[in-house]
Amino acid sequence: MKKLAIALILALALSLPGCSLLREDSEPPETDRLVGVYITESYIDTFDFEAYFQDNASSLSGGGEISREDTEKYSQRIYAEVVDGKTSFPIVGVPLIAARYEKDGESYTGSDCGDKLADVHLSINNSDDMVTTVLTGEIFTDSGSGRVTAYCNPVYQQADGRIYLVPGEGMTADSGGSMVFSLSDSRESAVEGEQGYGMEITLTATGRYPSDKLAVLLYSADGELMGRTEYAPEDMPEEIAADGAAWAVFEDYTRDFLGEPQVIRRLIAACSDEGFLSLHMEPGEVFYTPRTTYLK
């Protein structure tokens, strides 16, 4: 029975898509650069059972636990397929990545941020001895389960351009809370006169109850109500015609952190750069899709 269980575990490990069977140290070498995080709803287990059993077969008969040191030693990298600067991992998740690419002999930084992220900002700060990339974003999760959970898996880029992830840490907060994940890395150049490399990543995960409905109320300059339209969250447009209105009140019918009904209202002037952020969730997903609507 024990042999059957081991064989089953090995079969599951070998069938995991995207995992190289060549064991590599989970700790990225000095030449690999941190370029982002890949956000998942659960822990990514890349433990190489086959290699572990081969190296420890003589000591397995007595049972016992796999140590943390062995977990790190026998972890595998998961490589991404990159097409036109967009990364695709064989695991469902949300990328927040800014990597280096080559095109027509030129090197440039390209960002890949999934459609589940809001308020994404990318900046590159140059100094005499360091180039630092700063990447920030926010992701929204469903508070209905009572807890907010997200796993942030570090993403690295090799010298040959290949991109991979390693298992990361999870963060959990109460249903109505927000949590902030930060990850940074910097390397001084070994070549005199050459700039070093730095990366700073900040991700905010916020729990929200789903919206029951959304409404837009158009008002004239003298405060007269010109019209009111309701939308399902998934049908909220990215742009609403002002049709002579001076401003609008956007209403979000949702619940507060205690689960009690509430209405979030926001006043936005016509033709301004300010937008209204709404959220909707696709069936079977755990992260909301944000959408910003402007009054034009």
Residues counted in the chain? 296
* Whole-prediction pTM: 0.80
CB 290 within 8 A of CB 278: yes
Q: Which of 188, 156, 179, 6 has its CA nearest to residue 77?
A: 156
b/e for 184-195, b at 16 or more Cβ within 10 A?
ebeeeeeeeeee
pLDDT tens across the length of the chain (296 residues): 323 233 323 333 333 333 333 334 455 666 899 999 999 999 888 777 677 667 766 665 566 566 656 656 667 789 999 988 889 999 999 999 999 888 887 888 888 998 999 999 999 999 888 999 999 999 998 887 666 788 999 999 998 999 999 988 887 766 667 889 999 999 888 788 788 889 999 999 988 888 999 999 999 999 999 999 999 999 999 999 999 999 999 999 999 888 899 999 999 999 999 999 999 998 888 899 999 999 99
